[in-house]
Amino acid sequence: MVSAEVNDPIVTGGAPMGVAPAAVHNHLELLADMGRDFASNQELEVTLKRAVERITDYVDAEAGALFMLSPCGQELECDACIGPVEITGLKLAADQGIVGFCVQRDAGRIVRDVSKDPDFDASVDSETGFKTKSILCAPMSVKGERIGAIELINKRGGDGLFDDNDLHLLQALSFSAGLAVLNARMAAELVEQERVKRELELAAEIQRSLLPDTKESDFPVKGVNLPARVVSGDFYDFYPLDDGRVAFTLGDVSGKGMNAALMMAKTASLLRCLGKSIKEPGRLLTLVNEEVCETATRGMFVTLVHGIYDPESGYVRLANAGHEPPLVVDKDGNYTAIEAEAPPLGISPALIDEDGFPETEIDLDGGKLFIFTDGVTEGYISEGVELGIDGLKDLIKNAGDTGIQGVLNEVRDRIGGAGGALRDDVTLIAIDDGTATHTKNASDSHAEAGATGALGEKVLQLRVTAKANRLRLVRNAVKETALFCGFSDKDTGDIVLAVDEACQNVIRHAYGSEGEGDISIEIRRRSDAMIVVVRDFADPVDISKIKPRDLDDLRPGGLGTHLIREVMDEVDFLPPPIDGGNLLRLVKKFGS
Amino acid sequence: MEHVVSSAESATIIAFTGDIDLQTSPDARKALLAIVGNGTGILVNLAGVGYIDSSGVASLVECLQSAKKSGQKMALVSLSEGALRVLQLARLDRVFKICDTVDEGVAAVA
């Protein structure tokens, strides 16, 4: 409230004294009217103007003005006024004049006769032509928070001078006005907070929609994301490519909150859009890095792992841009961490050499791959206890039959359920190459289900020296396999021809006349098709040069490749594995 | 793979048995080209050939081209289902004269 000042005419706060009961009734009525004005839904400015009018009229002054202290406390500005001179918008220094005096000392003041007061600033009068005789001023403040002051000029009638009763009255009214301003400000803040909260929730909803749908229970890649705040700087994504492989991404934007979330949305969108056509993780990250570097602000960066998983072969190719090492768990339970060999995205395009981000190839061979943000390993599972990398390994070891979904659930429950706010966004994706392993064993109860799954059952694995005199052996093995899978004699003949021609291409083109190496043939049976992958271990062949022959040109050469394309439903030269060699994938559908 | 060469009227008959593939096609090619230039019609009996691949087909194509240059006619006879399939896939079933029996073939290359 209003503090006391030693020297008269400064008056301490309190109720108006020495006022007749009828007057008290009128005071209360005025306060009630003002209260109603402030409670109405009008603009604060309109209400303040109305309040100044009422107060000026009630105290019977010639003019009244309401000054508000600027948020920085440097300036007083007239927000509303009544009287012969319009001074709305007038600005004063926070300690200027009688108003400044009252605001600074948080005390009311009466200057009965300005001509005798040294604090009176005559500059406003000289500008406006108004003749100030007497001033009454009371601060608006609530619990020490200074809001401004109301100033009245010249008592109407008589000698034109105010008395102490007038000051008491103005102090009470100013306090009410101050409280109303504060309430209005708090209400506006609440509305703003609510709006920001709603916007954040909308942003979070859009973010969640950027994450892939994981409802398909037999999909080999799964993920989980727990934002530490409403929105997250982490993200993950996975989607099938048109060649049957699966692209996956997990990233962590530096920082948390809205700026990280926006950066996340941009990076995730770039990767998803470009990732469908650029199937080389290293080259993709190089492009995205250039884009992120061009537009990244405030030193933000993204650590990220992007890769492609081939359910047919169990191979994963990935590129790691400065992210936590992904964890490979082989089928015997041994762990290998894949360390990053390149800096995060958004640091500098110059740090990446010409070949792009380095790629790593991993043969999962029935094992699992876990990629996660540090929010997982540094997440608290109880008061002050981090899960840690060993804790994560334990979760994986103990997941048993619940598989990767079990690990994801455990991470979510342990860290998300530990109580208290999350320290950081928690994100984890996992790839399970184990389905293929299950189907190898005929006595396994999963065999039936696995045979119809996406991976298919491996029915033949053959590795022979790449020599012409081994082709008969290959043909016989492929023939028996095709018949075993249920193909007709005619289709079996076609498949044998295609595989034989594929092996010829290896012998003649991949290894050439001098080189010597092996050919590996793997055949899987799916519910709808048989898939043959022919692999050699020679230098990569320029795929663009292997074309079906021009049929008008009778020279031999491309005829073998033409025959393969004629008889098989799908023929794809897959990108070469990291340890060299070439992969040719042939698909023959049942009943085609 | 083996082959036997015989004569019938104005034709030379070469009969293959076994698979003609990357391993055996060089021998088949050599045997075929050996007949080119002797002035007779060339009849290739594939009754004993269950499998022929692109390299075998290429040998047949090379023989046909050489035979044409030297004014000799050439026909294929007694193709297995598999061999005919490969020629069809290679769109060569109309390039070669294909006969069902040896007699038919001998008449065709006369």
Q: Are A558 and A500 in contact (CB under 8 A)?
A: no
The alpha-carbon gap from B53 to the nearest alpha carbon of chain A, in Å, equals 7
What phi, psi does A409 have (nearest 5°)? -60, -40
How far is Cα A322 from Cα A557, in angstroms, rounded to an integer?
Answer: 46
Residue B53 has its nearest CB partner, among A494, A504, A566, at A504
How far is Cα A193 from Cα A94, in angstroms, rounded to an integer?
Answer: 29
pLDDT value of position A455: 59
Residue A566 has its nearest CB partner, among B82, B89, B95, at B89
Q: Which residues pair with A329 in a beta bridge?
A: A335, A368
Q: Which two tokens stand for residue A356?
A: 């792009």
Here the contacts of A400-407 (C-beta below 8 Å, separation 24 or greater) are: A403/A432, A403/A434, A404/A222, A404/A368, A404/A370, A404/A430, A404/A431, A404/A432, A405/A217, A405/A222, A407/A370
Q: What domains can you pick out in chain B, each with its CATH number?
A: 2-104 (3.30.750.24)
Neighboring chain A residues of B23 at a CB cutoff of 8 Å: 468-469, 471-472
User: Residue A100 is which amino acid?
Assistant: G
* A554–B95 CB contact, under 8 Å: yes
Q: What domains can you pick out in chain A, each with its CATH number?
A: 21-187 (3.30.450.40), 211-437 (3.60.40.10), 456-589 (3.30.565.10)
Q: Cis omega before residue A9 (within 30°)?
A: yes
The alpha-carbon gap from A556 to the nearest alpha carbon of chain B, in Å, equals 5
Q: Which two tokens stand for residue A500?
A: 């034989």
How far is Cα A430 from Cα A136, in angstroms, rounded to an integer?
Answer: 75
Burial class (CB in 10 A: 0-12, 13-18, 19+), B18: middle
Question: Is the minimum CB–CB distance between B57 and chain A shorter than 8 Å?
Answer: yes
Q: Which two tokens stand for residue A517?
A: 């190496």
Question: Is the minimum CB–CB distance between B81 and chain A shorter than 8 Å?
Answer: yes
Q: Are A241 and A476 in contact (CB under 8 A)?
A: no
Kind of pairing between the strands at A529-536 and A582-589: antiparallel
How far is Cα A11 from Cα A13, in angstroms, rounded to an integer?
Answer: 7
Q: Which two tokens stand for residue A101?
A: 């005096």
Residue B86 has its nearest CB partner, among A468, A507, A563, at A563
Neighboring chain A residues of B91 at a CB cutoff of 8 Å: 551
Q: Which residues pair with B77 in a beta bridge?
A: B45, B99
Question: Is the minimum CB–CB distance between B5 and chain A shorter than 8 Å?
Answer: no
Per-residue pLDDT of B39-59, as tens digits, reads 899 999 999 999 999 889 989
**How far is residue A301 from each of residues A56, A262, B77, measured CA to CA in Å?**
60, 12, 72
Rounded to a whole number, what is the distance in angstroms from the first to the last CA of chain B? 28
Per-residue pLDDT of A515-535, as tens digits, reads 678 999 999 998 889 999 999
How far is Cα A120 from Cα A113, in angstroms, rounded to an integer?
Answer: 10
Which distant-in-sequence residues (6+ apart) come within 8 Å of A285 by Cβ? A304, A306, A319, A321, A342, A345, A356, A357
In chain B, beta strands by DSSP E: 2-8, 11-17, 41-48, 74-77, 97-99
pLDDT value of position A484: 92
Q: Are A284 and A292 in contact (CB under 8 A)?
A: no
| Residue A112: count of CB within 10 angstroms of its CB | 18
A248 SS3 class: strand
Which distant-in-sequence residues (6+ apart) come within 8 Å of A290 by Cβ? A349
How far is Cα A260 from Cα A231, in angstroms, rounded to an integer?
Answer: 9
How far is Cα B13 from Cα B40, in angstroms, rounded to an integer?
Answer: 10
Exposure string of B69-78, with b = 16+ CB inside 10 Å and e = fewer, is: eeebbbbbbb
**How far is residue A268 from each of residues A127, A234, A261, A428, measured CA to CA in Å?**
62, 10, 10, 15
Q: Are A167 and A110 in contact (CB under 8 A)?
A: yes
Burial class (CB in 10 A: 0-12, 13-18, 19+), A554: middle
Exposure string of A63-94, with b = 16+ CB inside 10 Å and e = fewer, is: bbbbbbbeeeeebbebbbbbbebebeebebeb
Per-residue pLDDT for B33 more than 90?
yes
Which residues of chain A register pLDDT less than 70?
1-22, 41-42, 214-217, 296-299, 435-455, 512-515, 541-557, 576-579
What phi, psi does A147 have (nearest 5°)? -110, -40
Identify which of A221, A282, A288 has the alpha carbon closest to the alpha carbon of residue A253.
A288
Identify which of A264, A257, A372, A255 has the alpha carbon closest to the alpha carbon of residue A323.
A372
Identify which of A71, A64, A144, A133 has the alpha carbon closest to the alpha carbon of residue A99.
A64
Question: Is the minimum CB–CB distance between B34 and chain A shorter than 8 Å?
Answer: no
Per-residue pLDDT for B103 more than 90?
yes
* B21–A472 CB contact, under 8 Å: yes
pLDDT value of position B85: 93
DSSP state, residue A510:
I
pLDDT value of position A296: 65
| Residue A20: count of CB within 10 angstroms of its CB | 8
Identify which of A505, A483, A484, A508 has the alpha carbon closest to the alpha carbon of residue A494.
A483
How far is Cα A372 from Cα A320, in angstroms, rounded to an integer?
Answer: 12
How far is Cα A85 from Cα A80, in angstroms, rounded to an integer?
Answer: 12
Residue A563 has its nearest CB partner, among B65, B89, B95, at B89
The alpha-carbon gap from B9 to the nearest alpha carbon of chain A, in Å, equals 30
A43 SS3 class: coil
DSSP state, residue A467:
-
* Residues shown for chain A: 592
